[in-house]
Structure formats: C-alpha cells, structure tokens
Structure 1
Amino acid sequence: MVKIARWNDDGGTQSGFMEGDACFALPAGTTVGTLLEAGLAETLRLAEKTVRTAPAVPLGDVTLLAPLVPATIRDFVAFEEHVEGVRKSIDGVAGVVPEWYEAPTFYFTNPHTVTGTGTVIGIPAGCDALDFETEVAAVVGRVPGSDGSNLSAAEAHDHIFGYTVLNDWSARDLQRREMKVSLGPCKGKDFANTLGPWIVTADEFEDRHDAEGFLPISLAVEVNGKAIGQDLLSNMGWPFAELVAYASQDSVVRPGDVLGSGTCGSGCLAELWGRNGSQTPPPLTTGDVVRMTVEGIGTIENTVGTRREAVTRVAARTRPRNRAVTSASASPAGRA
C-alpha cells in the first residue's frame, strides 16, 4: 500500500512515503505538491524507489502533519441520511429538499486552517455547540493532457490521485445563525479542518469499486472511546468520480484540490440532535477526544482545546435608504 505523508522530525518538515511503521523522506525540494503535479503513475514509480533507497525513520519518532496543503477544499453534502437529520437540527424542518436529489451540492471552505491528526482544536469564540463531521476526501492529481475542465465521470475518476480522512469541524450555533441569511456556512466552518493521517493512493481501491463506481468501505467515529456513528461510503448519493466531474463543469479541478464526501450517516452530533429532539449526545467540550477511522485509509484523532474568549460579531448600522445622488458623489473631488 502506498501512503503519502508529511511529518515533522529533527530535520524539519518532511514529505514522503509510509510503509509499515516507517517513514521514507523524498529528496530535498520534493513535496507532496510535486507528486500531485507529477501524477499517480510517476508517484508510484517514485514510491518504489524511495522506500528502497531512503533511510527509514520510525513513525514513533515523527509528528504527522496534514498530508497536503490543499489548493482548494470543496465539501459536498452527499449522504441523504445526514441531510435528513442535520436539516432538522439546523433548519428546524424535516425531510430532504427535492433539489438535493437533482445534483451534488458543495461549498468552499478554508484551506489555510487545515490541521493534522494529533492537533488540539480550539473552540472558536462564541461557540457553545462544537461538532465534528466524519468524511472521506478525494485528492486531485494531474492527468497528462487534461486541463481538469468539463470532465466526464470516467475522466474525473482518473484525476482522483488518492483518498484521506476528513473531519470538517463545525460550530453549529454560529452556523445556524448565518445559514438563516441564505449564505454560508461561513464562520461556523472555517476555523478548522483535519486531514490525515496520510493519502492512500487511488490504485489501492481500484478493485473495490462496485458496478456504479461506489466504494463500500466503512467510516466510524467515537468520542472519548464511545462509538457515536458508523456508515459505508457507498451510501453516498453519487460516487466520487461524479462529484469531481460536477465540480469541473464550467470550472476546473487542479492538482492539490480536495473534495470532501460530506458527513456520513450518523457521522456528526447535529444529525443525532435532529433525530433525538435534543442535544444528545452533548456538544464537544474542552478535553474531549474525537477519533475517526476509515477502512483502508487510517485513523485521525484530535483533542478539543479551550474556547477563545472574544466578541466577534459586529452589528449592522441602521442607516436611511437615501438613493438621491448628491453633487459631491456625482462629481470627482476638485472638479467645478
């Protein structure tokens, strides 16, 4: 199995491959981004060479980082069961809107706040309802001769370089307020995303796709050692290739782009709150440990830190709606 990782050790930040319980660093100046630009075939060749020739560093001697610094992150909402539960919790209404079935839906989130497994995740200011979201993410790599635009599902399949685990951390109370403005999510989402523990290359899953292109692999999440939810990736409404293809329509997907599956069924607290009619289980608090495991990929684990105490809301000013054009606004400064 080819696993691609980034880590910190005494030599600083390194990129390379994992085999067993050892890390094998790429040559200086070669990064995970270099591999994504080179494409999957060249990466597999380089992995074989690196594991054979580079010094082995024990996994226990390093600190894993997020396996890449994403160029962009598109996060989909591809699990019907999740939509059913969380819509009741966030919007206060039951059911799935008809538009969900018509096409995949995603939002862009913040690539600058990506963290790795083991990182302490602080609670954002003003949040009393911190939640997690259990997901798988596809990582895009280069395909020779393709510009990544207007892809078919078959073409998009070839652009999937590999897969990693994604925890889309969520401040549900902040999200609930901003979604009422019909835009977002915004501050309810952009404070943290965890990716890891590494990227497993797509060839490892090639013989596991079913006839429609879905991957029947298991996702599970627990908090403080207690199981919270479990689902199969094949319960998505669309296979990953169709998500990537949809993202590319009248747009482009490029090496380093990350596309999340959206939360699996029972993969977050808000979905359970919607079904239970109360915040049961309770929101995450300082010291809670969230552990996510995806079959064939690996496990990420993060501890919840303290909440930042600050007032971040800025109220709108109430101003008269005067649309009259004044002479000052109509004439450039200094003109008679």
Structure 2
Amino acid sequence: MRLARYEHDGRELSGVVLGDDGDERVHALPGGASVLDLVVAGLPAARDAGDEAAREPSVPVADVRLLPPVTAPSVRDFVTFEEHVEGMVRGGSPDAQVGAAWYEAPTFYFTNPHGLVGAHDDVPVPPGTSQLDFELEVACVVGRAGRDLSLPQAREAVFGYALFNDWSARDLQRREMAVGLGPCKGKDSATTLGPWLVTADELEHLRDGEGFLALELVAQVNGEEVGRDLLSNASWTFEEMLVYASRGTWVRPGDVLGSGTCGNGGCLAELWGHRGRQDPPPLVPGDVVRLSAEGLGAVENRVVAGPALSDLPAVGPARRRSRERHRRA
C-alpha cells in the first residue's frame, strides 16, 4: 500500500495511492486521518483504512502537491554504503582510506525534521554555499515505539519506506566538520521525503538472501544519469540500523531513518572524490534532480535561487579572549 500526504484545493489531506505508470490517483483517508495516524495504528488497521478510502472518490496525483508523507518527530541519517564513504574520504586525499571506526557500527547524525520537503517542491540554494549537492537514499519509517530493540523486534517495527534526498552544502559541511562536530547548516535546509510511504509488506519479495532489500536506485541531473546502485550494497540492513538507533533510548512512531547515500554516483561529492575534480559540477538554480527507486517511485526537485548571504543578518567570527584566568572585581 502507498500512503501519501498532499495538498488539494487549499486543504491538507492524506490518502492511499492507487494506479501506476503515470495514472496514479489518490483517495482521501476516511475521517481526516493522517498517514502518521495509520503508522501509529499499525499495518492491519492501515490496510482497513486504505480499503475504505479506495471506495471513495479520487483525484489524479498529478493534480495535487505531494507533501512529505509523515511529519517526523525525528530524522536520523546513517552512512552505510562503503563505496560512498571511499569517495568522500578521497576528496580530502587521493590515498585516504575508510577509517576503522566506520566498520564498527552504523553511524548516524540527527538532521532537521522541519526541513522535510515534498517530492516535487523547489529547493532553494542554502545561503552561503557554492557547492550544493544531492544524496540518493532510502528511508524507513518506524511504526511502533521501542527501546533496546532486538533484530526481530526491529523487523516488526519498520512500517514502510520512502525515497530520501539529503541535500548538502558541501563547502559549509567541510568547514563545520573541521570543528569536530557533526554537520549543521551544511545539511539543515532541505531533505526530500516521498513521493509516498510504501508499506513494508509491499517490498518483502525484493529481499535478497542476506535480508537486504535489493532495490535498484538511479540518480539523474537534468535528465542525465549520474548514479546507479542497489540498496542491498549497504553494509547494514534497516533492521540493524534500527537496533542501533534504539540502543539506550527510545524510537517512536513516525521517526525516519535514512540509509545514507548509495555508492556509484549517489551524490556528486563521491564522484568528485573518485575523479579528483568537480565533475559533474555543483548544482545551480535551474538544475533538476530526479531520484528513483524500484518499488518506491521517484522524486524530482528543481533547484532555485535562495537568499543571498549578504541580505541576511550577519553572525561574525568568534571574539578571542585571553587565556589568563580572570576574576570579577
């Protein structure tokens, strides 16, 4: 089942999407229920609501504005593709190797849940960057609360999946990472989630023998393919990511976990690292990024001009202070 959150005729609605090959139609959920309501209720109740919605009038998906399918309480973004990490570290030095710490656990950072954008929304260039990039990922959405989950519990806790594009300002990110903390404004402005939420049962037939979802992933910029990979080339499954995310803390319904960027051109910076030059070039206003995944659909966003840094309130450099100790008189 595919669940969408959308705007139509000035109203925000949620619904079930039926049809294929450009003829998709969305049927509003009964009683004004949201996708998150169905995530909380669980898959059996969601199926019942979807069946009821399918009997109601529908509108073409092409006539609505698709929103991020859930309003996420939190968004964790992992880094689980070794090839992607190889390309990123080689951007700093051609001889650099993936650090040993990466292999020890499925590392993630928290990104901005308020920065989620829809499948076809315009994406403004973040203030102060000249190196805007996309990242082709898949996300899972948590369907039940839990803490210190086991692998079987994590499997039951995954409600569904969606495409995920972690838009990245690479020059801002580099400066911030040099401070010794995770990415901040370099990842803060926008994350595409959509086009809809596909329930986990729809993709079970695509699991490989090791439990990975073998979805084909494709990235295009202005109609030209720049990346292609399989989701099963990740080094950890979503269940393993969820086990790690829940260690010592709670995960809640609606929480989003990104897989991290796939390899083989899942973002421009990886290609820059492997090639030793910015080829293809960073994204600029007018560029259109289309990401697709087998079984999940596609998202397509146009880059537009954002506010100039010079037009925004300034934040100056640190005020340097003496290293001597002082006491208030």
TM-score (norm 2): 0.94
How far apart are the structure 2 equivalents of 1:257 and 1:10? 29
Offset at residue 184 of structure 1 (A): 1.6
User: For residues 220-240 of structure 1, what are the alpha-carbon distances to aligned partners after superposition, in whole Å with 9 as ceiling and x for unaligned?
Assistant: 100000000000000000111
Going from structure 1 to structure 2, the CA distance change for 1:166 and 1:263 (only over 3 Å counts) comes to same
User: For residues 55-105 of structure 1, what are the alpha-carbon distances to aligned partners after superposition, in whole Å with 9 as ceiling and x for unaligned?
Assistant: 112222211111111110000000000000012225776210011111100
Q: Kindly, what percent of the aligned residue pairs are identical?
A: 53
Partner of 1:49: 52
How far apart are the structure 2 equivalents of 1:58 and 1:227? 28
Partner of 1:261: 259
One-letter amino acid of the structure 2 residue matched with residue 42 of structure 1? A
One-letter amino acid of the structure 2 residue matched with residue 218 of structure 1? E
Going from structure 1 to structure 2, the CA distance change for 1:90 and 1:251 (only over 3 Å counts) comes to farther
Partner of 2:215: 217
- SS of residue in 1 equivalent to 2:152: helix
Going from structure 1 to structure 2, the CA distance change for 1:231 and 1:127 (only over 3 Å counts) comes to same
Partner of 1:3: 2
Deviating 4+ runs (over 6 angstroms): none
One-letter amino acid of the structure 2 residue matched with residue 271 of structure 1? E
Correspondent of 1:190 among 183, 188, 191: 188
Aligned residues: 321
Partner of 2:13: 14
Partner of 2:104: 102
How far apart are the structure 1 equivalents of 2:48 and 2:208? 27
Correspondent of 1:128 among 127, 130, 141: 130
Partner of 1:332: none
How far apart are the structure 2 equivalents of 1:149 and 1:116? 30
Counterpart contact for 2:94–2:276, Cα < 8 Å: no
Offset at residue 166 of structure 1 (A): 0.3
Counterpart contact for 1:90–1:176, Cα < 8 Å: no
Structure 1: any 5+ residue segments left out of the alignment? 328-336
Counterpart contact for 1:4–1:200, Cα < 8 Å: yes
CA RMSD, Structure 1 to Structure 2 (Å)? 1.4
- SS of residue in 1 equivalent to 2:305: strand
Offset at residue 118 of structure 1 (A): 1.4
Correspondent of 2:39 among 14, 36, 59: 36
Partner of 1:330: none
Partner of 1:205: 203
Offset at residue 11 of structure 1 (A): 5.0
Partner of 1:331: none
Going from structure 1 to structure 2, the CA distance change for 1:152 and 1:301 (only over 3 Å counts) comes to same
Going from structure 1 to structure 2, the CA distance change for 1:299 and 1:203 (only over 3 Å counts) comes to same
Offset at residue 205 of structure 1 (A): 1.3
Counterpart contact for 2:13–2:32, Cα < 8 Å: no
Counterpart contact for 2:167–2:191, Cα < 8 Å: yes
How far apart are the structure 2 equivalents of 1:26 and 1:187? 36
Radius of gyration: which is bigger? Answer: 1
One-letter amino acid of the structure 2 residue matched with residue 303 of structure 1? R
How far apart are the structure 1 equivalents of 2:257 and 2:169? 20
Correspondent of 2:87 among 58, 79, 85: 85
Offset at residue 149 of structure 1 (A): 0.3
How far apart are the structure 1 equivalents of 2:31 and 2:47? 18
- SS of residue in 2 equivalent to 1:60: helix
Write out aligned runs for 1:128-167 (5 A): 128-142=130-144, 147-167=145-165
How far apart are the structure 2 equivalents of 1:244 and 1:212? 17
User: For residues 260-291 of structure 1, what are the alpha-carbon distances to aligned partners after superposition, in whole Å with 9 as ceiling and x for unaligned?
Assistant: 00000020000000011111110001100000
Q: Does 1:26 align with 2:29?
A: yes
Counterpart contact for 1:132–1:169, Cα < 8 Å: yes
How far apart are the structure 2 equivalents of 1:291 and 1:227? 9
How far apart are the structure 2 equivalents of 1:253 and 1:226? 38
TM-score (norm 1): 0.92
Counterpart contact for 1:212–1:239, Cα < 8 Å: no
Partner of 2:231: 233
Partner of 1:306: 305
306-315 or 223-232, larger mean C-alpha shift: 306-315
